[in-house]
């Protein structure tokens, strides 16, 4: 028998705006593997943007959809996978990530605010982005580090350099 699918070659986790999509797409190109993003999967399944889902159905509804999307992607995708910034909030999701090639992309709060502060497509940052960022990072950093095999800081580095660091870290 041939072995079954091995799952994603790389899983990127980390806060929104850190560059998971850009770096992930670049890694996929370099590795000659497909790129997938659970946010895109959720939007495709729901037929509407994530901001709509948050506004009309609330965050718990979104998290349930996200949990299903991550589970499905881990089972079916063998390329590069980027997870939404809050996917690690779910304990079952964290358990599913154990033993996977998970890399945390991270940045400091100043860079986070600079990158995402004015992005209205990100419903969690609509009000007081700096305080929200600090609280988000404090709450989530332990969860990110729990699942990540390696940590890559994006500060002052372009996507190529970050992508190279991800490959070196694995």
Q: Which residues are annotated as a binding site?
A: 17-22, 39, 63, 85, 122, 140, 157
Interface pick for ligand S3P out of 7, 8, 19, 85 (rule CB under 6 A) = 85
Tell me the closest approach of the beta carbon of residue 146 to ligand S3P, in angstroms.
16
Burial of 169 (0-12, 13-18, 19+ CB in 10 A): middle
Binder among 8, 84, 101, 129 for ligand S3P (CB under 6 A): 84
Spatial distance between the Cα atoms of 170 and 168, rounded to a whole number of angstroms: 6
CB 18, CB 148: distance < 8 Å: no
Residues 1, 5: Cα–Cα separation, whole Å: 12
* Pairwise CA distance, residues 135 & 32, whole Å: 37
Does position 36 interact with ligand S3P (CB under 6 A)? The reply is no
CB of 78 to ligand S3P, least distance (A): 21
Residues in contact with ligand S3P by CB under 6 A are 16, 20, 39, 50, 84-86, 122-124
């Amino acid at each position: 028998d041939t072995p079954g699918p091995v799952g994603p070659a790389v899983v990127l986790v980390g806060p929104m705006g850190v560059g998971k999509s850009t770096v992930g797409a670049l890694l996929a190109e370099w590795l000659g593997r497909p790129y997938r993003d659970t946010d895109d999967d959720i939007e495709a399944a729901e037929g509407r943007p994530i901001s709509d889902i948050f506004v009309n159905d609330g965050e718990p509804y979104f998290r349930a959809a996200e949990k299903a999307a991550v589970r499905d992607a881990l089972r079916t995708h063998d390329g590069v996978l980027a997870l939404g910034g809050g996917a690690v909030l779910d304990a079952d999701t964290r358990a599913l990530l154990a033993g996977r090639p998970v890399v945390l992309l991270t940045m400091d709060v100043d860079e986070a605010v600079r990158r995402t502060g004015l992005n209205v497509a990100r419903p969690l940052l609509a009000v007081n982005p700096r305080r929200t960022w600090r609280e988000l990072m404090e709450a989530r950093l332990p969860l990110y580090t729990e699942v990540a095999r390696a940590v890559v800081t994006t500060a002052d580095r372009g996507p190529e350099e970050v992508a190279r660091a991800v490959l070196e870290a694995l």
